[in-house]
Structure 1
């Protein structure tokens, strides 16, 4: 067998190599070049572990082969012993063939052999899952294990919890035996190609491309994309030109792109970037502002999601609101009031959330949200779960106006936005000295991760208090940002009129 340190592969390494040989080389030879782990990535890994642990209960009574980093020999022996002792279900079963190590999520004994179950935390079958399962079939078959079936078990997005979890409904089990067998012919060739590449003195010359984020976001992007300038062709937003085609033709900086290659919003973006200017569509902006009335509210929700529905009425990954911030004015240029709510951790927050929200929003108020479809979606879900509040919630929904519209529709646009209409880009582009930089929690993903951390800190009050303070500050910043942006819209309109 080739030396493990260079040529050995695992499921995750093989899949990484399928996506990009360069990424696999860097993982093996230069792992320190990896990007820092983001809050979203941490949440995704945690979700995978949670789903994997729960899926073992699909077949109760199984034996678990514990993972010990670097000690594959013990895991191989424990698996072999479990099979020899007649265990019918083995979780995290370990096998090796031709220097390829795999751990099977669930291995199940049947009359004529063994069944492989690959567990995924996604809610649909993906092609990459089939490659993952196919490699396991390759290794087990090569190791002399008779495999009769290969399955992928993923979450069922239509499952809605009612009482105790129903695992048979929560998971969708798909037979991918045919697909796994069809991929066998190419596996040995791909393994050989990966090993040959790994034996090289330098990483392969693979340029950036769509593969950097398909099927997974690569954690070497910071290294591979470091030559791309801040204002690049990849900042172009919306439909239009193929950005990678421009890049391959030598156009990397946005200023290098001839305007006649662009149209619509992309051309507008390039022109404003070149001239470093702000554009204002006075007539459309006036129409937007004219639809607002008082009391005027600025509303933002924070939510968490879980692959396993923790409470009744929830589906896998359904967004659960646990926090809101509400700024409001009773009249134009009037006093700015503020209300907020942050649920206690590890409890179902929905009932208190909706009751507090209904009490805090002034009757008949105009409600501004940034990208209102998100807040409206959560309100509709709350109305479905709490029918006695449906009428009041529907009245709120009917009064929601989307503050993203002036920026998404380019009624007003600054070159500093770099094509984005995200509030994280819009705010510093128009409000001097106000941004999310330096905040302990600076985006929705971090807020979600912070809430999950709070649930684990119920017995550590000091740390819990710090997280609450940071969460309240972040959500408050979102609604205060909306207040300032409305002021900017009015100021820009007034400046245009003079």
Structure 2
């Protein structure tokens, strides 16, 4: 620090009990650049300010800006004569990578102490990285606002807020936080045991003067889509059992379960201790009757990484590397009709992906199903990538995309295709509620619920694959998709085999991907990212690819199971 000009990473400053470490400190005499690095991204060419039109902080950026404001405050107290300018260093979604395989220069590795390490390619030079993918954004205006007005607490100045935190920390005094909807994401929530305490239960117990068992009751903020939870809590209503029907303002919708009706159904079933599912049967029956056989169920696996795998791509640009496609025929026959997986290193998969999807879905003219908005969002992203491409069949592919989708809000064009994908998630929301899901509509919550309720599904899927009138591209004929434990279904995702099943100790020691299994979308995109490194040997690569194929196939089979349940209850 005594040098006239120096750049220091994680420079440390301590004064009056306030301690910080700066990601990057660039010192040129008394002129200081304080640079805080974040994985968040912006489009640098479109960025103006992190303040909204009213001159207030953009909520999504508030924690990061307060972080930098605190750092600048501490440095300035240490060195009053320094001229400090504060910046955020962010991924630039407007930048384009000029280097293939840039990701392979930096491999993430877990250290023995469970910290994350980075293994850098030997001999790496700055010029090897090509054009920068990050951008440095001045946040001086935002920091001045924070330090002058402290917008998150109008009753304290910024300096008073820091002293408040400092004194509580030094004296080990717990900061009182009033009960509110933020409790839903409390990081100290765990079931208390002899070995550890649940900060959530301690906090609620002290404020409500209640015991642990009474705190475990369903909360008002756990009602699906409940926006009035803070209002109800302010009225002294903390649990669903305390909510009255007139608290909800129920607005019916003909033939469907409206959002407010759904909320009251959830609350009422809690209050009556009713664990049975609810259906809007006539509406569901009409919905199923509108579908055209054969039915096509599709699921995508995608990735959006900060460091593009190939040149010509942008940070956090969508990559579609896998799909699965099940067909259900009118006679009940189920066919795992097609699939696509591209894990080839250094290959941008999206255009081959959409070509393969086109070939898969054009084998019939039946209805197409997705679960939630993801698949529609992805084909919209590929549509934009095609527009900017020179692919010889781009017009044909764009026409196909428009035929199976509708435009998202930020598209230049408006369209809704003749075979626009039907959202099974919306069908669930409109016609079905099951207390077993605890208000969640995710497929990982809905699937166990329908398996628990359906005798048909239990009888069918406890049998081996060879006996259920279904085909598979990845599971053996003896595989069983459903097992019961104490009368409750074990999620089929938990029955997926481990990736390296049967490997000997030496082979396991040589594996570098540190992936044990693939049972959710996060694990799938992580696996794809690992396969973009040349160090992964062929045996490990094949095991991970097999795991990806099984997981994605199960996603579309899960959709089929939900359809079969709806068919059962409407028959």
Fold conserved (TM > 0.5)?
A: yes
Are positions 1:261 and 2:247 aligned together? yes
Contact 1:322 1:350 in 2 (8 A): yes
Are positions 1:174 and 2:123 aligned together? no
Structure 2 CA distance for aligned equivalents of residues 468 and 247 of structure 1:
48
Which among 146, 150, 163 is matched to residue 82 of structure 2? 146
Structure 2 CA distance for aligned equivalents of residues 110 and 482 of structure 1:
60
Are positions 1:396 and 2:393 aligned together? no
Are positions 1:430 and 2:417 aligned together? no
Specify whether residues 208 and 470 from structure 1 end up closer, same or farther in structure 2 by C-alpha distance, changes over 3 A only.
farther
- Relative contact order (C-alpha < 8 Å, sep 6+): which is higher? 1
How far is 1:202 from its partner? 5.8
Structure 2 CA distance for aligned equivalents of residues 269 and 146 of structure 1:
59
Which among 426, 430, 445 is matched to residue 405 of structure 1? 426
Structure 1 CA distance for aligned equivalents of residues 289 and 562 of structure 2:
15
Specify whether residues 406 and 310 from structure 1 end up closer, same or farther in structure 2 by C-alpha distance, changes over 3 A only.
same
Contact 2:85 2:138 in 1 (8 A): no
Structure 2 CA distance for aligned equivalents of residues 307 and 299 of structure 1:
27
Which residue in the other structure is 1:324 paired with?
Answer: 323
How far is 1:136 from its partner? 1.8
| CA deviation vs aligned residue, 1:466-487 (integer Å, no higher than 9, x gap) | 4333332322221101111111
Which among 177, 190, 197 is matched to residue 168 of structure 2? 197
Q: Structure 1 residue runs of 4+, over 6 Å off?
A: none
| Correspondence list, 1:205-224, <5 A | 205-211=176-182, 219-222=187-190, 223-224=198-199
Which among 204, 221, 228 is matched to residue 234 of structure 1? 221
Contact 1:326 1:339 in 2 (8 A): yes
TM-score (ref. length: structure 2)? 0.63
Which stretch of the first structure deviates more once superposed, 129-138 or 103-112? Answer: 103-112
Contact 2:189 2:199 in 1 (8 A): yes
Structure 1 CA distance for aligned equivalents of residues 162 and 324 of structure 2:
53
Which residue in the other structure is 2:351 paired with?
Answer: 351
Q: How many residues align?
A: 405
Contact 2:327 2:337 in 1 (8 A): yes
| CA deviation vs aligned residue, 1:440-462 (integer Å, no higher than 9, x gap) | 43332232223233335742444
How far is 1:327 from its partner? 0.8
CA RMSD of aligned residues (A): 3.1
| CA deviation vs aligned residue, 1:373-420 (integer Å, no higher than 9, x gap) | 3112211222333425222333333321111222122x1222222222
Which among 225, 233, 238 is matched to residue 200 of structure 2? 225
SS of residue matched to 2:292: coil
The unaligned stretches of length 5 or more in structure 1 are: 1-79
Contact 1:450 1:467 in 2 (8 A): yes
Q: Which structure shows the higher helix fraction?
A: 1
| Correspondence list, 1:116-135, <5 A | 116-123=34-41, 125=50, 126-135=61-70
Which residue in the other structure is 1:22 paired with?
Answer: none
TM-score (ref. length: structure 1)? 0.72
Structure 2 CA distance for aligned equivalents of residues 441 and 154 of structure 1:
30
